[in-house]
Chain A
């Protein structure tokens, strides 16, 4: 490589956002945005071509002096854990633009600019190799998503946006104090240096620090009982906002556990292990039951995320290899599937302008392609063998059984409930008699929308049939993570 890949892909979208704001023409905005995101995707190619799967170190490392007086450098780098998320973030943003092409009609320039700033934050977060930079990108995500929800969202958008902002900010300010406390004790914020210096943190300090970081991560994941911002935010956000929220933002919290809590605070993890497992299982089962009774399509998918993210945290805190690998795989899977489901809902909403399940029915009669794709994604979300979620859930549940049998049993119950609400949703929306209010509407997807969904469908099938493609990135770093002392 002759260019700093990570810095380029992080700041290319930001440059695109600046260009869009300065260009001054609404018609050009979406083309500029598409070009910027596609360019980002293209420029990131060397990451996948030259990545060394056998190494657990950070790769494509960049380091420059940034704040010498505080001993904080500008550091970027990826390992097998963060790389898939960068791919997901770059891909989903492209699809978001495809989904917003005709859906966003007001203040177009600002919309695409906000979306691109959010992309910078997402990529930067996963590429950061020190805690300070991680925090900066974590917070940078706040305002664009706040605007995406609040400006272009549904009827309850302002409430949802403010709730989102206050919840996330409350968590992240505690992370700020935690970060400062770590900095004060260890004198550095570089992840690698911290892993070596972590023994200077006493067990009780680690417990407090874990709690401080938990506040930030648990809000983002979200874990019970801090999930209440999620249904509002996901439901009211425009399609692109929901995709970003469900696809990437929720993963930021879980990624935080993997990047900060597990490697740096092993004593804290041990202390909080039991509660974490219990909360995760509770989220799986409670989330699934709440999902069952939803009458609003978007709200239903939003609540299903609570349940699905429960699997992720369950997998992480089983602290064994297959559990953690399954959790990461499941994060990517959920990113693909929930994004696809939100896209599907958004596409049909554009035609019908209703999100109530009872207003649908018999969609398959006029929209066979749409119905087929929706079936694929619903089955994938339900964990059908051969599609991507199956592998992740299988790995997680397997290691949950090894940790505590009842955890596994409850998780299986969650899967069963998941199948129920997804199939039932599909049944009510797509099958049966055509709802009279839908007659005469042109429900079938156009080619732009098919092109938007196609990559996700391909990924769902490929990762289902050959999960090793993704898992091969995870083996070495996860083994290294667990061997570094956090596993019992």
Chain B
């Protein structure tokens, strides 16, 4: 795929994976597009309803199969769960490490991430039984910025989601802040937790 090679991808003790490097390394990934990645599982009623229960949404599009089939062609995938269909489970058989989102594979010094902005469009409904494929692109990486959380870089990515017939069902433009928290916060937290 061209990226990842030669970059020190570190598996941190808490299971999600960040690539580390300098800003110049990150800039080399701008414009890089990932190979299509197919969701490991299809859109399912169980996950639709687990999410609807999480946000306590009684919309019958998520719960009433008859209504949803007449209206959308099947139980509707909550638009808000879009990114979730392509997040791999944290463990898979055979010790195969779960693939990280492209934004996490942009090499930078920051030790952690927080989401900054998101803009999604949903040209077509996604329904129970659909299998989604994602193509991810790194759109930009900002110079170093300071926010209230710490110093770091903003990474903008554009995801395109297609379903099994090739139709584009959604696009997702996301901005992630990759930063290092100030040392004072870390030591204060460690004191509180006795660490």
The yes or no verdict on A and B being binding partners is: no
Q: Which residues of B contact A (CB under 8 A)?
A: none
